[in-house]
Amino acid sequence: MPKTESSVNPFETAKQQIDIVADLIGLNGGIRQVLKHPKRELTVNFPVRMDDGEYRVFTGHRVQYNMVRGPTKGGIRYHPQVTLDEVRALAAWMTWKCAVVNIPYGGAKGGIVCDPKKMSRDELERMTRRYASEISLIIGPEIDIPAPDVYTDSQTMAWIMDTYSMQRGFSVPGVVTGKPISLGGSEGRGEATGRGCAYVTREAAKDVGVRVKGATVAVQGFGNAGSIASTLLHDEQGATIVAASDSRGGVFKSDGINPHALEEHKKKTGSVVGFPGTKQISNEELLESNVDILIPAALENQITGKNANKISAKIVAEAANGPTLPEADKVLFEKKVTVLPDILANAGGVTVSYFEWAQDIQGYFWALSEVRQRLEQVMVRSYQDVHKVAVERKVHNRTAAYVLAIQRVVEATKTRGFYP
């Protein structure tokens, strides 16, 4: 998670969000305190042999935030700036994301303090396997199911699955999700985040009165989620992509950009910049462009109190995590801009991870069409649930999503009670 403000502790932010919703729904002190504390945390320090023969000690974390609704779920990231408080915050947010889409998981997260860009593939494999061995005490298909995150991928998950399976003496594909198809991965997992975002955008457009066919779209971050969401809106709904960007800059064309041609251009050149027939724009200009639908799919903290007034889109669909700051939410709500919050808009990924886990447990795999159909059902229902709370409580969608999620966790907590 990029640190734009060194003084901002992400876990303090996560706890503040809980307090805001707890005040709104009148939650008592005891359960409020439960919600603000992770259930279980494991920090491990372990040696790894590097390619030069020397050993280096790495620090890794795994936080299981809340498991009253089921086993915990969440990614593992490799980054030099991983901290325990960051992992705690991400685990909390995963708890609410799973509850928003009403899948039977709690939230977890993991991370290793390392710079994967400076490590060889062999070093990454040895580090991954040792970390998996260290946390194997608390992961498993019925306990906690890791997945890929920043600088980890399907190969990382394959190493974890193999390490865990070797310790058990038999194959356990359900211990992780985001695996290669050959090891029990699910069809449709790679497109799931973008496809889920496209589904909730389509549903929101009906309530906002935006006709998606012919609507203009700008996507900040033409990567996996952003490119898939915008391409699906173009191909299946008839929207017009007029602006797109990546870390090197953006492009704009008022009469529309062919997203497939743009994808090919990016594969060849490494960037959307320089796509024929377009004008170059900055990421800042893209956010403020005159479009119907804006998809922030890049970094966090992009829409702030300073530029929120300049956002002209009618719908902001957050394919990225945390692109909108709290002060910007208030401004956008007053401007009647419909924000589809990250814990709803990009929850397609964890939803299809849940499908993958369910397929692994059953040993029965679904066709791509079935995965897409089930994902659509979950995302449409989840949007409708959030929209209903927003209308009833007269709040913006982010607050509504948190209210819905926390109420579901509170209900499960009260129903189960406290043992002993």
Q: Are residues 145 and 197 in the same domain?
A: no
Q: Are residues 161 and 201 in the same domain?
A: no
Reading the block at residue 277, the tokens are 């027939």
For residue 16, tell me if it sits in a domain. Answer: yes
Q: Is it the case that residue 145 has pLDDT exceeding 90?
A: yes
At 28, the pLDDT band (50, 70, 90 cuts) reads confident
Q: Report how many domains make up the chain.
A: 2
Considering Cα of 357, then 359, then 360, then 362, what sign does the dihedral take?
positive
Among residues of the chain, what percentage have pLDDT more than 90? Answer: 92
Q: Are residues 66 and 106 in the same domain?
A: yes
For residue 55, tell me if it sits in a domain. Answer: yes
Q: pLDDT of 152-165, one tens digit each? A: 999 999 999 999 99
Range of the domain at 244: 192-345
For residue 291, tell me if it sits in a domain. Answer: yes
Q: What is the mean pLDDT of residues 310-315?
A: 96
Q: Is it the case that residue 1 has pLDDT exceeding 70?
A: no
Place of tokens 């309530």: 207
Q: What is the mean pLDDT of residues 51-80?
A: 97
Q: Are residues 222 and 258 in the same domain?
A: yes
Q: Give me the pLDDT at residue 321, please.
A: 87
For residue 397, tell me if it sits in a domain. Answer: no
Q: Are residues 154 and 229 in the same domain?
A: no
Q: Give me the pLDDT at residue 331, please.
A: 96
Q: Give me the pLDDT at residue 10, please.
A: 86
* Residues annotated catalytic, as ranges: 109
Q: What is the DSSP letter of 183?
A: G
Task: Pick the closest to residue 293 from 212, 192, 224 (CA basis).
Answer: 212
Q: Is it the case that residue 417 has pLDDT exceeding 50?
A: yes
Q: Is it the case that residue 136 has pLDDT exceeding 50?
A: yes
Q: Are residues 113 and 19 in the same domain?
A: yes
Strand order in the sheet with 72-79: 40-49, 55-66, 106-113, 72-79, 144-148
Q: Give me the pLDDT at residue 227, please.
A: 95
Q: Is it the case that residue 9 has pLDDT exceeding 90?
A: no
Q: What is the mean pLDDT of residues 220-230?
A: 94
Considering Cα of 251, then 257, then 259, then 262, what sign does the dihedral take?
negative
Q: Half-sphere exposure (CA, 13 Å, Cβ side) for 81?
A: 9
At 2, the pLDDT band (50, 70, 90 cuts) reads very low
Q: Are residues 206 and 336 in the same domain?
A: yes
Q: Please state the φ and ψ torsions of residue 412, each to the nearest 5 degrees.
A: -65, -40
At 7, the pLDDT band (50, 70, 90 cuts) reads low
Q: Is it the case that residue 4 has pLDDT exceeding 80?
A: no
Beta-carbon contacts of 198 under 8 Å, excluding residues fewer than 6 positions away, are 228, 229, 232, 233, 236, 237
CA gap 91, 337 in Å, rounded: 29
DSSP string, 203-259: HHHHHHT--STT-EEEEE--SHHHHHHHHHHHHHH--EEEEEEETTEEEE-TT---H
Task: Pick the closest to residue 245 from 192, 208, 290, 281 (CA basis).
Answer: 281
Q: pLDDT of 385-405, one tens digit each? A: 999 999 999 999 999 999 999
For residue 100, tell me if it sits in a domain. Answer: yes
Length of the chain: 420
Q: Are residues 148 and 243 in the same domain?
A: no
Q: Give me the pLDDT at residue 78, please.
A: 96
Among residues of the chain, what percentage have pLDDT more than 70? Answer: 98
For residue 276, tell me if it sits in a domain. Answer: yes
Q: Is 57 exposed, middle or buried (0-12, 13-18, 19+ CB in 10 A)?
A: exposed
Q: Is 139 exposed, middle or buried (0-12, 13-18, 19+ CB in 10 A)?
A: buried
Please state, as a whole number, how many other Cβ atoms lie within 10 Å of the Cβ of residue 254: 13
Q: Of 288, 312, 345, at which residue does a domain stop?
A: 345
Q: Please answer whether residues 348 and 194 qualify as being in contact, where contact means their C-beta atoms are separated by less than 8 angstroms.
A: yes
Place of tokens 């005159």: 290
Reading the block at residue 115, the tokens are 């710079």
Q: Which amino acid is at 5?
A: E
CATH code (residue 158): 3.40.50.10860
For residue 373, tell me if it sits in a domain. Answer: no
Determine which helix (DSSP H) or strand (DSSP E) holds 339, and give its type and residue range: strand 338-340
Say if strands 144-148 and 72-79 run parallel, antiparallel, or are unpaired.
parallel
Q: pLDDT of 232-246, one tens digit each? A: 999 999 999 999 999
For residue 370, tell me if it sits in a domain. Answer: no
Q: What is the mean pLDDT of residues 72-95?
A: 95
Q: Is it the case that residue 3 has pLDDT exceeding 70?
A: no
CA gap 412, 420 in Å, rounded: 16
At 54, the pLDDT band (50, 70, 90 cuts) reads very high
Q: Is it the case that residue 6 has pLDDT exceeding 60?
A: no
Q: Give me the pLDDT at residue 138, please.
A: 98
- Buried residues in 285-320 as b, exposed as e (16+ CB within 10 A): bbbbbebbbbbbbbbbbbbbeeebeebebbbbbbbb
CA gap 160, 366 in Å, rounded: 24
Strand, helix or coil at 313? coil
Q: Are residues 124 and 270 in the same domain?
A: no
CA gap 214, 239 in Å, rounded: 5
Q: Of 146, 175, 204, at which residue does a domain stop?
A: 175
